[in-house]
Amino acid sequence: MPAGRWGRRLLLALAVLLGLGLLAGLFLWVMMARGLPDAASLASYQPPLPTNLRAADGSPFHTFARERRVYLPYAEIPPVVVQAFTSAEDRTFFEHEGLDYAGILNAVWVNIQNLGGDRRPIGASTITQQLAKNLLLSNELSIARKLREAILARRIEQQFSKEEILELYLNEIFLGRNAYGIEAAAQAYFGKPAAELKVEEAAFLGGLPKAPSAFNPNSNYARALQRRNYVLGEMARNGHISPETSRSLQALPLAVTEGSMPLRQADVGGYFIEEVRRQLIDRFGEEAKDGPNSVYAGGLWVRTTIDPLMQEAAERALRNGLVRYDSGRAWRGPAATIETGEGWARRLRAKAVGTGYPEWRAAVVLEKQAGGMRLGFEDGATGFMANGDAVRAKGGVPAWQLLKPGDVVPVTGTGGNRYALRQIPEVSGALVVQEPQTGRVLAMVGGFDVRGSSFNRATQAKRQPGSSFKPFVYAAGLDNGMTPASIVSDAPYCVYQSARLGTKCFRNFSGGYAGAQTMRWGLEQSRNLMTIRIAYNSGMDNVVKLAKDLGIGDYDPVLAIALGAGETTPMKLVNAYSMLVNGGRAVEPVLYDLVMDRTGKPIFRADTRPCDGCNATRWQGQAMPRPADARRQVMDARTAYQVTHMLEGVIERGTARTLSSLGVPIMGKTGTTTGPKDVWFVGGTPHFVAGLYIGFDQPRNLGGVQGGTFAAPIWRDFYLRAFKDNPPDPDPFIAPAGVRMVRIDRRSGRRVFGAWPSADPRSAVIWEAFKADSEPRRIYRTAQDLKALQPVQPQERVRSDSDFLRQQGGIY
């Protein structure tokens, strides 16, 4: 066969083989490309960002995050960071179109040489390929995944500019220490923003993507230093810095912070923060899959209502009260127990003992020594506790004899690295502070320490309010024809309830009876028998309806409810008192009033009232715009004020006289339940309402404490701490339209004309609040009836309101 024919056949065969190869390659490309994510979806990609909380004054104080990340637009990324990362990861990034073919051939050759060995195959992934893998693919180690990665990288390069690709990559990449992106990494390793990074610091971060844990300087300093110097050399090779600069920087030590920079965590407000977290998750979701504004990925900015000063005062006051109650009790043993061998500090941190006070510390007994014991703390430090500082006894045996290595106890410093034993109270409670006009919760304490118990007693504990519920019984009486001057009998009272319940006889807390007294006196002195009579005469249906309207609880109309036997939470009861101060208008508890998404767009506002003109760009002398108050009127405003006015008497003359010396108008009511198992005080000024209770989580007898002698002093402690540097204005409670202030005799309830109230709270004459036409009438004798020689009994006549007002010239 001629040579020319063989040549033609050979060429034909080669062409067929080449065609088949191209077809096979095309088929493989199509198969690999099938089902790939759309590269264009990166245009709408939003990396997970933490949610940041701000206090009411705008100061940042807490972060919810599982990935530490702060997103930086490309324009805010320093050039030295770009140079470091491209030099370390992809030096031809700005020239290639997604794939580094020279690097791929080199990786193939090296991997062929390593066949049969145990070395991990190397890759030649560009930054674009890494982005495709991190965001759109898996970490599967296979040829198929590498092919899909290459296809996707090409598509990304066609869709986005180099700057856009780098922006996504440098904000998404994991760099160790729970830091995602270069801004979070700069903070985590160097305690500074990325804009302030030096060349050698940027080079260190640029070397981390390959293996963040392997190049951790805290565990492998030499390897981390070697990797940083390699990146500095590559930066010089690529012309970003001079060789001389590279060599001088390589001679510098690697200086990073000791540990990861912690996320912003508030020192106070643990229960408040946890309640905000729960509410935000209910509203927006928890993870990215739950929506674009989720708590742990949405990058929300939340303005909470917490007042840090009030919160700190509330926590300190409640803890002081709990510790004071517990101080006379026996020692109950260690808070926890751990192994004391290597790693004890880590195990101690994992116990998360809730020590409450900032000055209290969780400590583990490491060993017993002569005269005391060596203690270890969560940070690895040690201290000493003398036997004389651990004398609290259990069963007559002092704690220092019972403590053994591994026992975890709270201690407080006494000076010179010496410590004294403390005990976390078993009794607990809650304290809530609310702004009555808006419902904003200014402080919330749900127990001794959220680390010890996440159960929030402010919102989750259902307790009997006892006498702190009585104001709402009196409100029902005022709504049904009674007045603060109405006479009610304080005498024995029994009622047949039903065949099942039988006859119920009520008694006063202190026993005894006082006979006929004014309604005001009954509330000030917290008389059970008078309260029961008012509830019965007003109708228990009306009492429980009012309690439901105010959000206190949904109760059966039985008389025991009038004495606070129905369960409620501290938050609900404080909110109901806020409605009293707010003139009977509906109030809802608000823990955050503004939420913005990651772009700064508001996505939630607590105050949705329309306000025409509030967003006007210019002021031209027009009237100030005011939003309309369309909130529901839950209670007659006049009734709300009458109850508030009577509750001021509780402070001046009643069961909470311990607060009368504070020197500002305060209303409030104590509460002590049967046992007593709970003690309460709820009250406030025109600007805030605060309420608290103390009791065991499993209710049992508290012993000889009462609301007036134990709960009210805690409230006083809170007030003095919260306002020690900024005393509130002594503003009075404002009476609404339709209320008449009339002088009456405090004990008899009769109207007085010849005397005036004095500053003495025990004055016989006081101002009392009446609804129009309900005040006591003036009774006088006519001239005809007073004829000197007539021995007849004079007639009594009630003058008309109009005659009285004309003669007296005003309303009293």
Say whether 467 is catalytic. Answer: yes
What's the pTM value of the predicted model, to 2 decimals? 0.84
Q: Which residue has the higher pLDDT, 510 or 291?
A: 291
SS3 807: helix
Report residue 149's pLDDT band, with 50, 70 and 90 as the boundaries: confident
Write down the pLDDT at residue 41.
64
Average pLDDT over residues 366-373: 95
Average pLDDT over residues 116-143: 64
Average pLDDT over residues 452-470: 96
Give the C-alpha separation, 36 to 151, whole Å: 9
- Average pLDDT of the chain to the nearest whole number: 87
Neighbours of 237 (CB within 10 A): 13
Q: Report the range of poorest mean pLDDT among 380-394, 570-584, 597-611, 795-809.
A: 795-809
Q: Which residues contact 641 (CB under 8 A, 6 or more apart)?
A: 583, 733, 734, 735, 736, 739, 769
- From the list 89, 149, 172, 648, the catalytic residue is 89
Average pLDDT over residues 452-468: 96
* Interior/surface letters 652-669, b for 16+ CB within 10 angstroms, e for the rest: bbbbbebbeebebbbbbb
Average pLDDT over residues 319-328: 96
Could you read off the pLDDT of 694-720 as tens digits, one per residue?
Answer: 999 999 999 989 999 999 999 999 999
Report residue 494's pLDDT band, with 50, 70 and 90 as the boundaries: confident
Positive or negative, the Cα torsion across 297, 299, 304, 309?
A: positive
Percent of the chain surpassing pLDDT 90: 66
Write down the pLDDT at residue 36.
57
Is 50 exceeded by the pLDDT of residue 791? no
Percent of the chain surpassing pLDDT 70: 85
Give the C-alpha separation, 790 to 562, whole Å: 52
CA distances from 733 to 18, 107, 420, 483, 575 (A): 95, 81, 47, 19, 17
Average pLDDT over residues 497-515: 82
DSSP structure string for 599-637: TS-EEEES-----TTTT-S---SPPPP-------B-S-H
Q: Which residues contact 458 (CB under 8 A, 6 or more apart)?
A: 271, 275, 430, 431, 432, 444, 445, 446, 569, 570, 571
Report residue 785's pLDDT band, with 50, 70 and 90 as the boundaries: very low
Could you read off the pLDDT of 423-440 as tens digits, one per residue?
Answer: 999 999 999 999 999 999
Is 60 exceeded by the pLDDT of residue 145? no
Q: Report the range of poorest mean pLDDT among 107-111, 329-333, 459-463, 797-801.
A: 797-801
Average pLDDT over residues 139-154: 65
Write down the pLDDT at residue 609.
83
Judge contact between 138 and 129, C-beta under 8 A: no
Write down the pLDDT at residue 118.
53
Average pLDDT over residues 33-37: 54
Is 60 exceeded by the pLDDT of residue 108? no
Give the C-alpha separation, 52 to 753, whole Å: 61
Average pLDDT over residues 665-681: 95
Dihedral angle of Cα 126, 128, 130, 132, to the nearest 10 degrees = -140
Report residue 805's pLDDT band, with 50, 70 and 90 as the boundaries: very low
Q: Which residue has the higher pLDDT, 564 or 138?
A: 564
Give kind and range of the element (H or E) at residue 171.
Answer: helix 162-172
Q: What is the DSSP letter of 357?
A: S
- From the list 125, 294, 428, 467, the catalytic residue is 467
Average pLDDT over residues 309-333: 96
Q: Which residue has the higher pLDDT, 337 or 119?
A: 337
Write down the pLDDT at residue 812.
28
Could you read off the pLDDT of 278-296 as tens digits, one per residue?
Answer: 999 999 999 989 999 999 9
Report residue 794's pLDDT band, with 50, 70 and 90 as the boundaries: very low
Residue 784 — left, alpha, or beta (φ > 0 → left; ψ -120 to 50 → alpha)? Answer: alpha
Write down the pLDDT at residue 789.
37
Report residue 622's pLDDT band, with 50, 70 and 90 as the boundaries: confident
- Beta strands, E only, 333-371: 336-337, 360-369
Could you read off the pLDDT of 529-556 as tens digits, one per residue?
Answer: 999 999 999 999 999 999 999 999 999 9
Write down the pLDDT at residue 510.
76
User: Which two structure tokens, joined as six digits, stand for 33?
Assistant: 């490309």
Could you read off the pLDDT of 572-593 as tens digits, one per residue?
Answer: 999 999 999 999 999 999 999 9
Residue with tokens 């296979």: 142
Could you read off the pLDDT of 233-270 as tens digits, one per residue?
Answer: 999 999 999 999 999 999 999 989 876 555 667 678 99
Could you read off the pLDDT of 160-206 as tens digits, one per residue?
Answer: 899 988 998 999 899 998 899 999 999 999 989 999 999 999 999 99
Q: Report the range of poorest mean pLDDT among 302-306, 370-374, 498-502.
A: 498-502
Could you read off the pLDDT of 41-86 as tens digits, one per residue?
Answer: 667 778 889 999 999 999 998 999 888 888 899 999 999 999 999 9
